[in-house]
Amino acid sequence: MRDRTRYLYLAVIIAVLAGIVVGFVWPEAGKELKPLGTGFVNLIKMMISPIIFCTIVLGVGSVSKAAKVGRVGGLALGYFLAMSTVALVIGLAVGNLLDPGAGLQLTDAAKQAAMAEAAKGGESDTVTFLLGIIPTTLVSAFTQGQVLQTLLVALLVGFALQAMGSRGTPVLNGLQHIQRLVFRILAMIMWLAPVGAFGAIAAVVGSTGIKALQSLAVIMLGFYVTCLLFVAVVLGPLLWFVTRVNLWSLLRYLGREFLLILSTSSSESALPRLIAKMEHLGVSRPVVGITVPTGYSFNLDGTAIYLTMATLFVASATGAPLSIGEQISLLVFMIIASKGAAGVTGAGLATLAGGLQSHRPDLVEGVGLIVGIDRFMSEARALTNFAGNAVATVLVGHWTGGFDKERAALVLGGGDPFDEATLLDEHDDGEPAQEEKALQHA
């Protein structure tokens, strides 16, 4: 099926440019367009609870499946957790160092609301906070939009389905269909992104002028540099010290896949090709079949960096920066909630809104700032996720004895190029069903 998201990408770029022009030329009119951005953010907020619920329940189910295969699954999950945490910490460090939203302070009203919310949060003790995580009923978390309550219910449901064993399989299969429905609705909402971006950017530029563009440029460039440094400074040395495989040779081998991701802004589009190429490289089929699809849900390095940096930007831009305690709490939340966000346009934006909703609800409206540049950041996010999963597959293969170094050297050296004729990269309708097929390899 022909990918139509490229048109959405172009529409967002045009909308952002139009919003900048309106904000500069007719600042008062630009301010009046703020409801367009607010309406789009509200639509994203509407999808937070179902997305969090489906991804967490199915994620817990994936852990159960991966754990059954023993050493491969255990090593893969341990590595994914460690790398996600490292990426989140790096995102927090760079976000605090750059502080791109400093001095922006969109409106006095937003600042006052943020200060009031912060003061309110300071008055509540830990016991009240913990009791507030427990919903009144099993479904009230969804109807009231309480993200942490939704997270608790999702974890309980996920572990309960685990305990049910094979009897819980029909429920998990049903949830997979519901998740696809939720993501399809989200995809429909994302077609309104140009409208939301136009209104949000016009309002921000109309209110703050050139400061808004400077701040957005800083966070974009900072994010790109951070992703590049993570790949070069963290993944590269780790891959070399463990396997003696050169990172840049591996990335060059996957060059066509990177171009595919760059054109679609989704690492999901290259999943079947990554499976085929990793097997051709010399990683055993069971390792590839377990590590690659599991990594697409649990090894989201680029998404982790994006979530933390974007959150700090929104908080700083609204004149209500997060305290160290709130940042650590946010980090823990993102480690759990970011699982399953890969490959779905808009899921990262919804997870960002969910993190703000759970920690500082007064900041959710600031997500409108990110809408205009989210598509510009999604490429780096997807490319980093993909590079991280490629490296993880080689590492796990090495640790479990399922990696042929001699063959890898031959392939990376150009001695045995990948035969494109052996790979049918066709999808039924763009659904993320490749993971299920990949797991069958194991």
* pLDDT tens-digit map of 384-404: 989 999 999 999 999 988 899
Helices and strands (DSSP H and E) totals, the chain: 23, 0
What percent of the chain has a predicted confidence (pLDDT) above 70? 70
Quick one: pLDDT band at residue 268, thresholds 50, 70, 90? Answer: low
pLDDT in tens, 159-184: 888 788 788 888 888 988 888 888 78
Range of the domain at 370: 5-440
- Does pLDDT of 191 surpass 70? yes
**Span 216-241, mean pLDDT?**
90
User: Is residue 190 very low, low, confident or very high in pLDDT (cuts 50, 70, 90)?
Assistant: confident
Q: What is the pTM of this model?
A: 0.65
End-to-end CA separation in angstroms for the chain: 28
pLDDT over 90, % of the chain? 12
Domain count, the chain: 1
Average pLDDT over every residue of 335-354: 61
Q: Work out the mean pLDDT of the chain and round it to a whole number.
A: 75
| pLDDT digits 0-9 by tens, 120-143 | 444 344 566 567 778 888 778 777
Q: Where are any strands of DSSP class E within 38-169? A: none
So what's the pLDDT on residue 33?
Answer: 82
> 186-200, 293-307, 316-330: lowest mean pLDDT where?
316-330
The enclosing domain of 102 has a CATH number of: 1.10.3860
- In angstroms, rounded to a whole number, what is the distance separating the alpha carbons of residues 47 and 357? 12
